[in-house]
């Protein structure tokens, strides 16, 4: 029996599942679902939540609505160490097939927002117009994509931590080579560079 490509699955079913996780339907959800389908299809991942789940890592470049959709479609997550957030503020994601070493970066086209009006000129609200247009626009009008090379460091791979140290300043444990060595002293990043929090 032939494997079912992700693009053979129902877009509407994937969108419905994504909306349940995200909490509402928006243009970002539509883009995220379609972007994921395109990325997975291009790297030959057929069953991202099942048989292929250990072959896939996704790098997402924005912390917006589309990220929830990408997580929903791919099954990747930070907790599984298969969803990596590189917040460049770009509506883009890179899909990596760890088995074949094939990777593709998919970027949402900025001009698709203006082109949406060509599909539904009767919808005056620009967000509603984009939402409906993004469902039917061809991939070429919505996205740019290209093969890329991604070198995934060992410490970023899914699985058990390969290294664990104790910060010599705060005494907290640091995993996965996220520590910093300054003049021979092992520190966590918060102690080395200043954290996002301040102890009261």
Does 27 share its domain with 113?
Answer: yes
Q: Measured between alpha carbons, how far is 30 from 27 in angstroms, rounded to an integer?
A: 5
d(CA 33, CA 71): 9
Give percent helix, percent strand, percent coil of the chain, each to the nearest 5: 40, 20, 40
Structural domain of residue 82, as residue ranges?
A: 6-155
Domain co-membership, 164 together with 150: no
Distance CA 154, CA 162 (A): 8
Compute the distance between CA of residue 133 and CA of residue 109 in angstroms, rounded to an integer: 13
The CATH number assigned to the domain holding 175 equals 3.30.60
Going residue by residue through the chain (200 aa), what tens digit of pLDDT does each one get? 344 455 556 888 999 999 999 999 999 999 999 999 999 999 999 899 999 999 999 999 999 999 999 999 999 999 999 999 999 999 999 999 999 999 999 999 999 999 999 999 999 999 999 999 999 999 999 999 999 999 999 999 998 888 999 999 999 999 999 999 999 999 999 999 999 988 88
**Coil vs helix vs strand at 107:** strand
Rounded to the nearest angstrom, the gap between the alpha carbon of residue 154 and the centroid of all alpha carbons in its chain is 19
199 within some domain: no
pLDDT value, residue 198:
86
Residues 121 and 173 in one domain: no
Q: Is residue 74 part of a domain?
A: yes
Q: Is residue 123 situated within a structural domain?
A: yes
Q: What is the pTM of this model?
A: 0.89
């Amino acid at each position: 029996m032939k494997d079912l490509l992700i693009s053979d699955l129902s877009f509407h079913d994937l969108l419905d599942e994504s909306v349940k996780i995200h909490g509402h339907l928006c243009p970002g959800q539509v883009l995220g679902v379609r972007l994921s389908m395109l990325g997975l299809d291009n790297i030959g991942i057929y069953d991202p939540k099942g048989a292929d789940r250990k072959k896939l890592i996704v790098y997402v470049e924005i912390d917006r609505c589309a990220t929830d959709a990408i997580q929903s479609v791919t099954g990747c997550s930070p907790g599984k160490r298969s969803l990596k957030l590189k917040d460049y503020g770009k509506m883009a994601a890179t899909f990596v097939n760890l088995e074949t070493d094939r990777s593709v970066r998919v970027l949402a086209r900025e001009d698709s927002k203006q082109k949406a009006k060509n599909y539904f000129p009767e919808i005056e609200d620009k967000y509603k117009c984009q939402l409906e247009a993004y469902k039917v626009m061809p991939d070429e009008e919505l996205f740019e994509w290209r093969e890329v090379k991604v070198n995934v460091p060992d410490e970023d791979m899914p699985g058990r931590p390969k290294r664990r140290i104790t910060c010599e300043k705060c005494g907290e444990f640091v995993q996965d080579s996220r520590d910093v060595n300054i003049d021979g002293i092992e520190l966590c990043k918060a102690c080395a560079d200043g954290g996002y929090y301040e102890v009261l």
